Structure 1
Amino acid sequence: AEKLWESVKDLVAPEVLMSEEDDRCEKGMDGTWRATCINHDLLFVRYRDGGHFSPHTDGYTIWDFNRRSFYSCLVYLNTCGGGGGTRLLSCPDKETFILDDGGRFRWPEETLVYNVPAEEGTALIFSQDLPHEGEPVHEGNMKYIIRTDVMYERVDKRCDDPEGRAAYQLFREAELVE
């Protein structure tokens, strides 16, 4: 994770400013956040021919009240000879899934904003609330990626004493039970 961070740190948004007016801002998330590292939990993924990932947005990683992710990082470990790109999408007027010829759930073609080809050694960093999909891998091909998060730390920490951290932990546990 440290080597990956050294490779991408100059490419990420160094700071994220969240205000209550921002649609992405959840309760208690406002403030200035500074990029600090790549999440050490690296997810290694293999897609075989026909493999895909239907349209979705990524979840955030939250370590505590003052450390969380805002961006995903995909690292392409090989060049996929056919298909396998990451398609960045705009939200359709309504969530309309269609079935493609392979029986896979997709969004209509007009939602495509950009297709990032799976090329060895490249990385894609994007906001975790951006809809995207893993394009189907063509027959006879494989796709290998690393999926992780760009982690941020709040500049003006809040609830950072032992009681505040314990309260936030209870809050997170309650959220997970809901």
Structure 2
Amino acid sequence: MGIEENMNNGKTALWFLTALQRFPWATHFGKLDMDTFPFLHKLVHRMAEGRNDACPLGPYEFIGAPDDRHVGNFSVSCPRESCDRFAPQLEVWNHMNGGFYALSRPLAEKLSWEETPRGGGEDCATTWLVIHASWRHGFCVVPRALDSWHHGGKASDPDFANHF
């Protein structure tokens, strides 16, 4: 991508900008840490689940593991309807954990990647962009906690990878 390896100095924003340009057919774009293992069969299954008239999802999806380590909350979520299975279980959360998160194409296209804050955590910076795009363009975001990757303690659970 033409950028030196870094954690919080622009690599993530450049990745999403590059992906938007190079993969015009992609419906979602994600990033994951080197110590994260995605269970793609489970992730794709869960991404598709719930896409019906009884559980309409807006086009602005933010997929990941909500994190509440910092003060503040993610205040731009669409109102919950009957789509609770993969909705974040935390009442108040601040950002998607950086181990893995994904954005739908419509959401990624709305973000002002050139305004990405530098120096702080990239997961917090991306969430900041999502919140500000929502405010600026007047849309709500569908957060989805699909729990389809290993990043931490789930490795000890032998059934996790194949539990849909």
TM-score in same-fold range (> 0.5):
no
TM-score normalized by the length of structure 2: 0.23
State which structure, 1 or 2, has the greater radius of gyration over its C-alpha atoms: 1
Bigger helix fraction: 2
